[in-house]
Amino acid sequence: MMYKNLLYELKEGIAYITVNKPKSLNALNNEVLDDLYAAFTAVNNDPEVKIVILTGEGKAFVAGADISEMVGLSTLEGRDMMIKGQSVFNMIETLDKPVIAAINGFALGGGCELAMACDIRIASEKAKFGQPEVNLGIIPGFGGTQRLPRLVGKGMGKYLIMTAEMIDAQEAYRIGLVERIVPAEELMGTAEKVAKTIMAKAPIAIKAAKLAINNGISLDVKTGVAYEAEIFVAPFCAEDRVEGMTAFLEKRPAKFQNK
């Protein structure tokens, strides 16, 4: 698959999507958003793809929405771009397959929001995070006001959005914005290791777990637990459940067939 603003590679079931506009620190304009939509649609439909690793080329993961494009937009065009970005990020969040963000550098504004739409965030020690939108007279519009407080809590979410403070990877890890931090040279290797760990599990269980967490998180616990009960049934009915449990009892690795 070829994209103007992305690099794409499929290796051993892992799709690598790299935002590739390093001159503008991978800023998201309408064209990049279209490419991301096309790429994530394609990986979702490709049975060879089991998991996705999303990263950025150069010193940024993504430094935000493209300010040079946004400055000239009318109000309606700005709204359209916001809705487009939200649709792409919602799609990533609800993709059938797990998505790991390998955050190599700046993840600011729309870049931080993009990372937050992924299932798991692994950051290089060189990564920097922030929601600097209020510096530009706007608020986060690609989901940041909703996903950030859900990850780091309401107070810290407000602090980061209202102060526009840029934080380093260590602080992002401390507040729960990322799940792992590693030296820069180990970033892709660690992301691959995590991807392979997840790929070794029953795919139907991974898909169900993602669904239960994504859709349950905004419910009260009682309703969420009832929802979990509904989702629980599908993997329990699957052949892979019998294989997983039999393999445990026979003290051998499970051979999951996605059945």
Q: Minimum distance between the CB of residue 133 and ligand CO8, rounded to whole angstroms?
A: 5
* CB contact at 8 A, 146 and 116: no
Q: Exactly one of 57, 113, 192, 228 is catalytic; which is it?
A: 113
**Token pair for 105:** 């550098």
Rounded to whole angstroms, what are the CA distances from 159 to 143, 226, 239? 16, 34, 47
**Token pair for 87:** 């649709």
**Token pair for 204:** 């139907």
Q: Identify the three-state secondary structure at position 167.
A: strand
* CB contact at 8 A, 256 and 203: yes
Q: How far apart are the first and last CA of the chain?
A: 28
* CB contact at 8 A, 108 and 66: no
Q: Minimum distance between the CB of residue 84 and ligand CO8, rounded to whole angstroms?
A: 8
165 is catalytic: no
**Token pair for 17:** 């999507």
Q: Exactly one of 133, 165, 171, 243 is catalytic; which is it?
A: 133
- Residue 100 identity (one-letter amino acid): I
127 versus 208: smaller Cβ distance to ligand CO8: 127
Q: Minimum distance between the CB of residue 234 and ligand CO8, rounded to whole angstroms?
A: 35
45 versus 75: smaller Cβ distance to ligand CO8: 75
43 versus 118: smaller Cβ distance to ligand CO8: 118
Residue 259 CA to residue 247 CA, distance in Å, equals 15
76 versus 217: smaller Cβ distance to ligand CO8: 76
Q: Minimum distance between the CB of residue 105 and ligand CO8, rounded to whole angstroms?
A: 8
E-strand ranges in the chain read: 6-11, 14-19, 51-56, 60-62, 99-103, 106-108, 120-124, 128-130, 167-168, 180-182
113 is catalytic: yes
Q: Minimum distance between the CB of residue 118 and ligand CO8, rounded to whole angstroms?
A: 16
- Residue 75 identity (one-letter amino acid): T
Q: Minimum distance between the CB of residue 149 and ligand CO8, rounded to whole angstroms?
A: 16
98 versus 132: smaller Cβ distance to ligand CO8: 132
Residue 26 CA to residue 63 CA, distance in Å, equals 6
Contacting residues toward ligand CO8, per CB under 6 A = 24-25, 27, 63-68, 70, 78, 81-82, 85, 106, 108-110, 132-133, 136, 140-142
Q: Which residues are catalytic?
A: 113, 133
